[in-house]
Amino acid sequence: MPIKNRFADLHEEITGWRRHLHENPELLFDTPKTSAFITEKLKEFGCDEVVGGIGRTGVVAVIKGKTDTSGKVIGLRADFDALPILEATGLDYASKNEGVMHACGHDGHTAMLLGAAKYLAETRNFDGTAVMIFQPAEEGGGGGKEMVDDGMMERWNIQEVYGMHNWPQAEVGSFAIRPGPFFAATDQFEIAVEGKGGHGAMPHTVIDTTVVASHIVLALQTIVSRNVNPVENAVVSVTSFETESKAFNVIPQHVLLKGTVRTLTTENRDLAEERLKKLATATAEAYGATATVNYIRGYPAMVNSDVETTYAAEAAASVAGKCEDAPLVMGGEDFAYMLESRPGAYILVGNGDTAMVHHPEYNFNDEAIPAGCSWWAEVVESRMPAK
């Protein structure tokens, strides 16, 4: 795999940064140690500007090329928050913060972007400006939106933005990407069903919320199968069915359903919300109960720009020899907010034969570091070639 020689030299050092981050995971926006570590390294590299507190605890660094006749400004983004998971890897550098773990590889993403920043600050072999974006709270906190809302794009005149995520079970250091919708919108819902509780031996005297809620669960399955165009992708999953009773002989008065909706287009997102509300309330009414729906919109669908996807794929092919076509992913990614603000692209880098992300035995594969760093650097150098 033709990687940049400098990253082979830096591999051990970058691995050390990654493992330090892995040992010291922090959640959402509560990242004082992680933000400080990133800031310290960026200043040590000699970046032209290093600013913290963007999007609460995000960090932005500016690296200027040897020349700036192009006037281009390209943003590179890595996330750095962890997950509330109890680690089960048994690694020497396992989490020291019990119940918190880098189970999605954000430690690797951050270490690779730090490696690219060190290289770019040393070489400056490009014509324009590179902006390193280190983002908190990707795991449900919307840190990407916070940074955009904080005026990051305008403050540094970012014109294009690129992101990367590791992908278990793909060959180490390989790349895959797709134009257009890539990751799904991530909405949540709660349906509170109220009937009339009573004795399990006298169902004729009650309005049985367990029966009503069960019919709602089944009705919701028709949203995808009978409302969404069959050639398009959507998911409606009821993931929690809670009653107020633990007894064998009590029919509960209340049931709470929870779940998630995943869509790739605005049209299907609107459709799913509308149908879910109508099906839940109408089904409950048909059985003499009531249903109150709380629908919470999460991250929007992440949509890669066509032209920038081509640039990203060409940079990947120059590093790995080729770039594969990525599958659609029904998981969410708040890089979507940055791609709503600016054209850009998001790519996957292979993490090898490891546990899947969000698993207590997952670990980022340090062998992917040279490829990831090389891709970051290649994006900058190919989009803003030196004069």
Rounded-to-integer distance, Cα 206 and Cα 172, Å: 59
* CA atoms 319, 324, 328, 330: torsion sign: negative
- Within 10 angstroms of residue 53's Cβ, the number of other Cβ atoms is 12
pTM of structure: 0.95
Rounded-to-integer distance, Cα 250 and Cα 198, Å: 6
pLDDT at 71 over 50: yes
Q: How far is CA 277 from CA 281, 284, 293, in A?
A: 6, 11, 6
358 known ligand binder: yes
171 known ligand binder: no
Q: Which tens digit of pLDDT belongs to each residue from 230-247?
A: 999 999 999 999 998 999
- Proportion of the chain above pLDDT 90, given as a percent: 98
**Exposed / middle / buried, residue 216 (Cβ in 10 Å: 0-12, 13-18, 19+):** buried
47 known ligand binder: no
- Region 213-242: mean pLDDT is 97
User: Which pLDDT belongs to residue 357?
Assistant: 97
Residue 11's DSSP bridge partners are none
Question: Which one-letter DSSP state was computed for residue 250?
Answer: E
Do residues 117 and 47 lie in contact, with contact meaning Cβ atoms separated by under 8 Å?
Answer: yes
Give the sheet arrangement for strand 58-64, strand by strand: 49-54, 58-64, 129-135, 73-79, 160-167, 344-350, 175-177, 324-325
- Half-sphere exposure (Cβ direction) of 11: Cα atoms closer than 13 Å: 14
Q: Which tens digit of pLDDT belongs to each residue from 149-169?
A: 999 999 999 999 999 999 999
Q: Which domains does the chain have, with CATH numbers?
A: 5-180+301-383 (3.40.630.10), 185-296 (3.30.70.360)
